[in-house]
Chains A and B, each alone.
Chain A
Amino acid sequence: MGRKLLLEHINVPGINTYEVYRSKGGYASVEKALKTLSPDDVVEEVKKSGLRGRGGAGFPTGMKWSFLAKPEGVPRYLVCNADESEPGTFKDRYLMTYIPHLLIEGMIIASYALGAKTSYIYVRGEMMPQIRILEKAIAEAKNAGFLGTNILGTGYDLELYVQPGGGAYICGEETALIESLEGKRGNPRIKPPFPAIAGLYGCPTVVNNVESIAATVPIIRDGGDEYAKIGIGRSTGTKLISAGGNLKKPGVYEIDLGVPVEEFIYSDEYCGGIANGKRLKAVVAGGSSVPILPANLILKTAAGDARLMSYEGLSEGGFVTGTMMGSGGFIAFDEDQCIVRNTWNFARFYHHESCGQCSPCREGTGWMEKVLHRLEHGHGKLSDMDLLVDVSKKIEGNTICPLGDAAAWPVASAIRHFRDEFEWHVTNPQAAVAGNFGLAHYADPLTPVVA
């Protein structure tokens, strides 16, 4: 039975209000941090916890905080990344909707640790209801003396604001987010300089995901060492998984990192198996940007071991037979789903969302979308698969921001693992337009590779 550090009280009626949140022990971590710990102590606890960024890249949060430049007389900023736009990911929206004070509490702790006096929560503009929820929570926290000037009589001042985006996936990339917060188009910046040196308004800035910031609340409450005991290896703590697609019980689950994928999909505690009695065909385990894996490879690694839901577990096998934790957007495909159609859909998404600064990304995503469109609609050629791989290679690693890679990997991995399904679309165009290739051999267990 997994621990619930973030979602423990999510079903308590009224937990979205200050009173109920407080009655469940809320804001105790702020009191502990501000009254008994120095900012550096807080950073130290977060370092000890082993917490890794929950936004996608998995970079250790404590280390990121310790890189923040602290020049005299220059303000520093904390910006929360609540842009949540990675297809398959919906945990941050869930958390902000139901337990907004957890994020506010985390923002106060993190701002204190970093010495920020003004912090922003950048929420994607479509989440207008969540923006209202957060604004109400901020007003309540301020009213209770946890925000504003001289918080809890400690002399620490903090203002917290919510900023809406305008509808652009790219604004989830941290430098694009900063540009957007400055009132500009969301064009990612060339790094270096990194935001830790020159971020918002040219000042040192930390950008962290909603879940990373929320996780500092239990870390400060229980101590970094306690948090680090949960999980497996360098994947410490609990992680919110957004489970969607053809699952019996889709939703947001908090898991101890290290749960076997098979248990996560099939046990009643989590997703309860595949919906409508169907069989599992494939999984995109960490949001649309990570490589897709066929059922056999997501349940077991190529070496035949049970695959675990952890940073290392999901990437076991590298790009050839593994995938990534990413943002924890877990998308399950049943036997009726068409891999070519989904790959085309994702390629369309990335083409639509490319900011257009780099030619390989702007043009390459367009080409991939066009070629996949023709494959899905029965006009493809057998040479198209190599063409797609070639285009994806030319994008990968040749762009300003990682959106290029994020667009290239899903296409390359779909062709790597489902090449015969793509070929079937070319050789049976009529059938491909009308129906789907089915499971083929992918759902069958792999023969273990004996070393």
Chain B
Amino acid sequence: MLRVEDTQNHPTAAFSPALLAEMADMVSRYPEGKQKSALLPILHAVQAEQGWLSAEAMDKVAEYLRIESIEVYEVATFYTMYFLRPQGKYMLEVCRTGPCCLVGAEKIMDQIEQTLGVKEGEITPDGLFSWRGVECLAACGFGPVLQIGPEYTFYEKLTPVSVNQLISDLKVKANN
């Protein structure tokens, strides 16, 4: 949920020129006066740049689209992809729905929890990782699967060994 203190503890950087250009391009896709349609794509772009959606950032989006702030908040709180507080640099999202569980998704989540040493929704002390279970990612035949934003890179047919390897690769990547 929206919490004002989050914004106070994590002041939002200004939107970059690249982001602003992307926003203008998005608005151009809809008929005159229907610019609110750009809300979901713009929120994705803002989150990709800032890592999450602060109240301050959402207010800026509202102003940009000439809609009320509440219209942005109600969308940001409805959809599961928008983060209303900061996350680890890498958010590992594992599919936890039935078909993936038939092929071992629960073991993958247990392994991640054990390897990272944090529970679902928490951030590792080095700020690098968070993880959570998400619903079916439309790759059930290639499960277990996980994705990592903001590009939503996809990993299929995971095993406890391969997921550990992925985590150590990401650590190396983050330190370079």
Contacts and interface: CB of A to CB of B under 8 A. Distances in A.
A189 B82 CA distance: 23
Contacts of A329: 99, 140
Nearest to A120: B29
A165 B140 CA distance: 20
Interface stretch (A46-54, A228-236, A237-245): A237-245
Contact of B102 (A86, A124, A163, A245): A245
A86 B79 contact: no
Contacts of B140: 87-90, 242, 244-245, 250, 329, 331
Contacts of B17: none
Nearest to A346: B98
B147 interface: yes
A349 B40 CA distance: 23
A241 to B, nearest CB: 10
B78 A288 contact: no
A165 B79 contact: yes
Contacts of B43: 166
Interface in B88-147: 96-99, 101-103, 134-143, 147
Interface residues of A, number: 55
A397 interface: no
A319 interface: no
B136 A168 contact: no
Nearest to A90: B138
Given A125-B79, A250-B142, A165 B99 contact: no
Nearest to A128: B152
B98 A87 contact: yes
A164 B40 contact: yes
B131 to A, nearest CB: 15
A342 B103 CA distance: 12
B152 A165 contact: no
B40 A125 contact: yes
Given A183-B40, A353-B135, A127 B152 contact: yes
B37 interface: yes
A201 B34 contact: yes
Contacts of A86: 136
A333 B102 contact: yes
B99 A87 contact: yes
Contact of A183 (B37, B97, B99, B101): B37
B36 interface: yes
A244 B67 CA distance: 43
A180 B79 CA distance: 10
B74 interface: yes
A167 B136 contact: no
B39 to A, nearest CB: 4
B98 A168 contact: no
A349 B136 contact: yes
A166 B44 CA distance: 8
A222 interface: no
B36 A183 contact: yes
Nearest to A186: B78
A245 B138 contact: no
Contact of A342 (B78, B98, B152, B154): B98
Contacts of A184: 36, 71, 74-75
A354 to B, nearest CB: 12
A180 B78 CA distance: 11
A90 B149 CA distance: 20
Contacts of A345: 96-98, 101
A267 B120 CA distance: 41
Contacts of B80: 166-168
B98 A129 contact: no
Contact of A125 (B31, B81, B154): B81
Q: Which of B38, B65, B135 has the most CB of A within 10 A?
A: B135
B46 to A, nearest CB: 12
A66 interface: no
A427 interface: no
A345 B99 CA distance: 10
A252 B139 CA distance: 10
Nearest to A243: B141
Contact of A252 (B134, B141, B147, B152): B141
Interface of A: 75, 84-90, 92-93, 118, 124-129, 161, 163-169, 180-186, 201, 242-246, 250-252, 288, 329, 331, 333-334, 337, 341-342, 345-346, 349, 352-353, 355
Q: Which 9 A-B pairs have the closest CB atoms?
A: A166-B79, A167-B81, A183-B39, A250-B141, A183-B36, A244-B140, A128-B152, A167-B80, A87-B136
22 contacts: A87-B140, A89-B138, A92-B138, A125-B81, A126-B138, A127-B138, A127-B152, A128-B149, A129-B154, A166-B81, A167-B79, A167-B81, A168-B80, A183-B36, A183-B71, A186-B79, A244-B103, A250-B140, A331-B99, A345-B96, A349-B136, A352-B135
Given A183-B65, A246-B102, A331-B99, 13 more contacts: A87-B97, A88-B98, A88-B140, A90-B142, A92-B138, A118-B31, A128-B150, A166-B75, A166-B78, A167-B81, A186-B78, A201-B34, A331-B102
Interface of B: 29, 31, 34, 36-41, 43-44, 65, 67, 71, 74-75, 78-82, 96-99, 101-103, 134-143, 147, 149-154
